[in-house]
Amino acid sequence: MSNDYLQVCLIQSHLFWENPTANREQFSKKIAAVSEQVDLVVLPEMFSTGFSMQAKKLAESIAGETVNWLVNQAKTHQIGLTGSLIIQEDSQFFNRLFFVFPDGTFQTYDKRHTFTLAGEDRVYKAGSEKLLVDYKGWKICPLICYDLRFPVFARNTEDYDLLLYVANWPKLRIDAWDTLLKARAIENMSYCIGVNRIGLDGNGYEYSGHSAAYDVLGNKISIQNKETEWMDIVSLRKEHIITNRNKLGFLRDRDRFSLL
């Protein structure tokens, strides 16, 4: 596939509560079932456990089974693969996103905005650095769930091409998810993709998915709109980004400031 195009597969799924083995097994089957050639597969936030605060029980090391599974899946299917999981480093826990390349190497991002309403801030250490991934000529900014509510951190000062969110975003506030995904695409003049889970978690919270992809003008380009399990493949075009940025020039007028 040329650098002018990026084929991205969104996998919207239920998650087995605090059961990494079952989740790895189900996603192995789903990834193997992708029928088209894709460049990148996107899984939800904490895809191996669900959004759990039981970090002491569930955390893995960077050399643990789930990271090894990500690496093996990426190498076996020759894809980029991303999602977040619970990682322990020394005595601290992180909600850490892995972006794994087809050769098995990876880059990581620790969730910057921990979800205080659920007590995530009391369990997981917040990250501080934004990650920019260079993949097949595409500059990708991956973020996690609650980060979606904070536009300054996502602000496109790097001229990235794709803003990507993995999430466990509850049905109760799904209108905010829909609205903010579209807004992040428009204000950053980038493609914006969000992959959310479905089903009930172990705390009784319901998730309705609404995973979606938007182009740089805020037009929805994913075709699925079901609150059930599904996979959708979207084709992103570099020409779409360049043409609209050059024509409209909105990013050239952005305010100049930085976060301390």
Q: pTM score, two decimals?
A: 0.97
Catalytic residue among 9, 18, 111, 130: 111
Asked about 45 being catalytic, the answer comes back as yes
pLDDT value of residue 1: 44
pLDDT value of residue 226: 87
Sign of CA dihedral 9, 143, 19, 226: negative
Which residues have a Cβ under 8 Å from the Cβ of 250 and sit 6 or more positions away?
A: 189
With respect to residue 61, please indicate whether it lies within any of the assigned structural domains.
yes
Q: How far apart are CA 211 and CA 70, in angstroms?
A: 21
Catalytic residue among 60, 145, 182, 192: 145
What are the beta bridge partners of residue 135?
138
With respect to residue 259, please indicate whether it lies within any of the assigned structural domains.
no
Asked about 206 being catalytic, the answer comes back as no
Mean pLDDT of 30-48: 97
Residue in 200, 97, 189, 93 with CA at minimum distance from that of residue 146: 97
- pLDDT band (50, 70, 90) for residue 2: low
Give me the CATH number covering residue 194: 3.60.110.10
Phi, psi of 56 (to 5 degrees): -60, -35
**pLDDT tens figures, 120-142:** 999 999 999 999 999 999 999 99
Is the CB of residue 66 less than 8 Å from the CB of residue 73? Answer: no
**pLDDT tens figures, 74-106:** 999 999 999 999 999 999 999 999 999 999 999
E strand segments, the chain: 5-12, 40-42, 80-89, 92-100, 106-110, 133-135, 138-144, 162-167, 191-196, 198-200, 206-208, 212-214, 230-237
Q: How far apart are CA 156 and CA 208, in angstroms?
A: 28
Residue 259: pLDDT above 70? no
Q: How far apart are CA 244 and CA 222, in angstroms?
A: 19
Mean pLDDT of 46-60: 98
Q: How many domains does the chain have?
A: 1
Mapped onto helix, strand or coil, the DSSP state of residue 60 is strand
With respect to residue 258, please indicate whether it lies within any of the assigned structural domains.
no
With respect to residue 75, please indicate whether it lies within any of the assigned structural domains.
yes
Catalytic residue among 45, 60, 120, 187: 45
Alpha carbon distances (Å) from 97 to 37, 100, 118, 201:
23, 10, 19, 20
pLDDT value of residue 260: 58
Asked about 220 being catalytic, the answer comes back as no
Expressed as residue numbers, the domain containing 237 is 5-253
